[in-house]
Amino acid sequence: MSTEQTQTIRQALKTLLLSQDRSLRELSQLLSLPEKEILSHLEHLAQHPGAGYRFVIIPARCRQCGFVFHKRQRVTAPSRCPRCRQTDLARPRYAFAVA
């Protein structure tokens, strides 16, 4: 992100997530920042979405057995499926919605 832009990283994330849901990898590529840094900003936005907005996590899903991590509220991706123990998971996606 260049210094000429007027948006902060969190503002840019919010703008991107208001337009459509995105994965951590997509956000990292769009903002040219490491995934770890994006995660720390997403954690903050999840805690403080701002007035009139809510942070939405579209849960990860096991590609082997179809288990969906509905109850998981952490921003990070799970490492393995609790049902079949496989590690082939579709990563969570993130979005902002107007409350």
> pLDDT by residue (tens digit) across 17-74?
999 999 999 999 999 999 999 999 999 999 999 889 999 999 999 999 999 999 988 9
pTM: 0.85
In 32-95, alpha helices (H): 35-47
Which position has the token pair 């840019």?
A: 12
Buried b (16+ CB within 10 A) or exposed e, 12-29: bbbebbeeebbbbebbbe
